Amino acid sequence: MNPKRVTIDDVARVARCSKTAVSYALRDHPKISAARRRVIKRVARELGYMPDPQIAKLMFHLRACRGRRFAGKLAFVNTHDTDREFARRTPALREIFSSASERARNLGYEFESHWLHEPGVSPARLANILEARGIRGVLLGSTGRPAGPVGFDWRNFAAVTAGYTVVHPGIHRVVSHYYRNTLLALRQLADLGHERIGLVVLSGQEAFMDHTNLAALFVHQHRLPAATRVPPLEMKEENPRQLRAWFNRHRPTAILAARDSVLRLLRADGVRVPRDVSFATFLLWDAPGKIAGVRPGYERLGAAAVDLIVGELMHDHADSPPNPRIVLVEGEWADGPTARRR
């Protein structure tokens, strides 16, 4: 015989508060103080309370129909060491922030922005500020450097990061599926008749992407005759001479790169695109219809991150997870005049 299901009534009785207070506390509503929320949540955990997902879905729908959509607050935290406006200046992060903000509003959450390195505010103080404002769900932006640790105690938060730069603490992350995106671009160029496809990357940017683009190239080339394999060009910084020497030596019929600035360097050097060589990028978010490439789906990463955060909050998983998950968002190929059939 199944044991009796623990209800909000049971939690309210043991915590000596109203059912409304329990409901607010479990949703991190600021009407209940942070200290009182912790007490009520502790009682709920000790009793083994588990929300019924169907009831939760119904109640959210009813609140939305009545126009009472406030479900709590979430925060985006800019983790860059020195740049307060890093998330606003970086195109990828702008798209992530925008989609996260929209998704949060649609789910009934307010969405705030904070800087981890605000002058005069220590990470511990920021944590207190977030808790006092009823914020338990946090989306971490990029650190701006590969493999960057973040000095913040996330144990009381449901935290998700976008990209690969935040490596400590070990939390859930949402990432564009760079490996499959690059494979998609390579296959599209191959379908256009290109066998000799060259990849141009910057070593720093490749580290940001966990070296997935180079991995995709090597897998793609593994099935090709050795004579058609073009070694990748990996540069520390964009170098026209290095690009020209590589191009003249290996004569690729198509070039795949992260940046459209490589396209500008080629044209400045007299290379006719797509007459002399086709060009595509695996990070296409500007110049729609003017450049061929893969849209990486950054406009969907923020929404995926918010869905993951809200799911953690609904199950009261505000802590550093023992087994962090990675949610991968695949990109989409977009035709453009820079790549044509060979």
Q: Are residues 91 and 38 in the same domain?
A: no
**190 and 172 inside one domain:** no
Could you give the CA distance from residue 122 to residue 322 in angstroms, rounded to a whole number?
A: 26
Looking at the structure, do residues 107 and 202 belong to the same domain, yes or no? no
Residue 309 has pLDDT above 50, yes or no: yes
271 & 315 share domain = no
CATH number at residue 318: 3.40.50.2300
Q: Is residue 183 part of a domain?
A: yes
What pTM was estimated for this model as a whole? 0.75
Looking at residue 55, what is its pLDDT? Answer: 54
191 plus 141 within the same structural domain: no
Q: What is the mean pLDDT of the chain?
A: 86
Provide the b/e sequence for 194-231 (b: ≥16 CB within 10 Å): bbbbbbbbbeeebebbbbbbbbbbeebbeeeeeeebbe
27 within a domain of the structure (yes/no): yes
Whether pLDDT at 83 is above 50: yes
Q: What is the pLDDT of residue 1?
A: 37
Domain count of the fold of the chain? 3
Structure-model confidence comparison of residues 6 and 341, the more confident one? 341
Q: Please indicate, yes or no, whether residues 159 and 192 belong to a single structural domain of this protein.
A: no
134 assigned to some structural domain? yes
- 128: its two tokens: 């207190």
pLDDT tops 80 at residue 293: yes
Q: Is the pLDDT of residue 69 over 60?
A: no
**What residue numbers bound the domain in which 284 lies?**
178-296
Over residues 223-242, mean pLDDT: 93
Q: pLDDT at residue 8 above 90?
A: no
Q: Is residue 188 part of a domain?
A: yes
The better pLDDT of the pair 79, 69 is held by 79
Same domain, 171 and 104: yes
Mark whether 292 and 182 lie in a shared domain: yes
Statement to judge: residues 35 and 91 lie in one domain: no
Does residue 66 fall inside a structural domain?
A: no
Q: Specify the pLDDT at position 68.
A: 45
Q: Are residues 320 and 232 in the same domain?
A: no
Share of the chain above pLDDT 70, in %: 88
Residue 91: pLDDT above 70?
yes
